[in-house]
Structure 1
Amino acid sequence: MATHIAFLRAINLGANRKFPKDAIVAAVEKAGFTDVATHINTGNVRFDTTLRSRAKIEAALEEAFEADRGFEVPTIVFTQRELVAIAEEAESFGHSGRHYVSLLKETPTAAAIKALQAAASDGEVAKVGGRAVHLLLGENYHEAKLTNATVEKHLGVATNRNLNVIRTLADKWG
C-alpha cells in the first residue's frame, strides 16, 4: 500500500460544482481506495492504494468523481515524498510575498516553461520544478498576470493552492 495525495480542480465553485468533503471521501472509498481523509473543503484528499501508476490512480478517481457528481473533476495526484519536496523547494526561494503553487497534471516541456515565464509582469516570477509551479507574486498580487489560468494556458491542466496549504498538507500527510 502506498499513500497518495490528490488535488481536485474546480470544485465548490458556483452553484453547480458542489462536492462536499463527505461526498469526496465516499466516492474515493467507492473507487476502492482506503484510509481516506480530506483537508478543508477545497479538494485535498489523502488515501492509500495498491495501484502504482499515477495515471491509473487519476483516471480511477476522475471516473468515480464524475459518476458521483455528474461533472468532470480533473484530479492531480502526488506521492507523499513529492508533496514534501514541493514544500521544501518553496523554502529555497526566500520569497516573502504572496506564494501560490500550481500543481500540474503533466510535466511541462522546456519551451512551455519559457513561454510561461515570459508571460510574467514586473514583480512576478514563476519557478517550475517538475509538476509544481511556484508563483511568486509582489505587492500587486491582485493584478498578477501569473495566475493558474496563465499556467494552464501554457502548461496544461493545473490546480492552485496557496503555499500555506501545501506546507500544512506536507506536514500533516507527508
Structure 2
Amino acid sequence: MITHLALLRGINVSGHNMIKMEALKTMLENLGFQNIRTYLQSGNVFVDSEEENAAKVGFMIKQEIFKVFGHEVPVIVINKEDLELCFKNNPYLNEKDADTKKLYVSFVSIPLKKESINDLKISQFKPDEASIDANRIFIKYAVGAGKTRFDQKYIEKKLNVTATMRNWNTVTNLLKIYEE
C-alpha cells in the first residue's frame, strides 16, 4: 500500500464547491481507497492505495468528485518525499528571522524548469519573492497572501499548469501526519 496525499483545490472556500468531509471519505472508500484521513476542511486528504501512479490517483479522485458532487475540482497528488523536499529546498526557511506566516508553497501539476521563474515575472510583484523547485513554487509574501495579485490563478495562467497553494503551517502539519 502506498500513502498518497491528494491536494484538492478550491473546496469549501467562501461557500464554493462545498463537500462535507464525511461524504468525501465515503466517496473515496467507494473508490477502493483505504485509511482515509483529512486535514482541515479545505481539501487535504491522505489515502492508501495499491495504485502507485500519483497522477492516476488524482484523476480518479477528480472524476469521482465531479460524478458524485458535480464540482470540477483540480487535484494534485503528492507523497511524503515531496513534503520532505519542501523543507530541504525552501530557500526562505534559511533566512534570518524567517516569518513562516508569510511562506507558501504552490504545488503544480508538472515539473517546471528553473527558467520558468522568468515566465512568472515576479519582479512586478516586489517585494514578494518566489523560487521554483521541480513541481513546487516557494513563495515569500512581503505582507501576506491576501494582499497580492501573485496568487494561484496568476501562476496557473502564466505557466499553463494546475496549481494549489498551501501555507507553511499546513505544509508542516501535513508532513507530521505523514510521519505518524
Confirm or deny a common fold (TM above 0.5): yes
1:114 aligns with 2:122: no
Deviation, structure 1 residue 139: 2.8
Q: Percent identity?
A: 24
2:157 to 136, 153, 159: 153
Q: Is the 8 A contact 1:135 1:146 kept in 2?
A: no
Classify 1:132/1:50 alpha carbon distance in 2 versus 1 (closer, same or farther; 3 Å). same
Alpha carbons of structure 1 residues 61 and 142: separation in structure 2 relative to 1, 3 Å: closer
Q: Match for 1:99: what amino acid?
A: L
Q: How far apart, in 1, do the equivalents of 2:9 and 2:153 lie?
A: 12
Residues 83 and 166 in structure 1, CA contact (< 8 A), matched pair in contact too: yes
Q: Hey, what does 2:26 align to over in structure 1?
A: 26
After superposing the two structures, state which structure 1 stretch, 102-111 or 122-131, moved more: 102-111
1:112–1:154 CA contact under 8 A, matched in 2: no
Relative to the length of structure 2, the TM-score reads: 0.87
1:108 Cα deviation from its structure 2 partner? 2.3
Of residues 103, 121, 124, the one that matches 1:99 is: 103
Structure with larger RCO (C-alpha < 8 A, sep 6+): 1
Structure 1 pair 113/34, CA: closer, same or farther in 2 (3 Å)? same
Q: 1:135 to 1:121 in 2, by over 3 A?
A: same
> Is contact 2:108–2:163 with CA below 8 Å preserved after alignment?
yes
* Match of residue 133, structure 2, among 129, 143, 148: 129
Q: Deviations over 1:6-56 (max 9, x none)?
A: 100111134451011112211111111111100110000001111111221
Task: Look up the match of 2:75.
Answer: 75
User: Does the CA contact (< 8 Å) of 2:4 and 2:48 recur in 1?
Assistant: yes
TM superposition outliers: structure 1 runs of 4+ over 4 Å? none
Q: Distance in 1 between matches of 2:73 and 2:32?
A: 18
Q: Which residue of 2 aligns with 1:163?
A: 168
**Is structure 2 residue 41 aligned with structure 1 residue 36?**
no
Structure 1 window deviating more from structure 2 (100-109 vs 37-46): it is 100-109
C-alpha separation in 2, matches of 1:55 and 1:85: 19
**Residues 123, 25 of structure 1: alpha-carbon distance in 2 compared, 3 angstrom cutoff:** same
Cα offsets for 1:133-172 (capped at 9, x unmatched): 1110113654323211221112311111111000111112
Which moved further from structure 2: 9-18 or 122-131? Answer: 9-18
Gaps of 5+ in 1: none
Gaps of 5+ in 2: none
DSSP-derived class of the 1:84 partner: helix
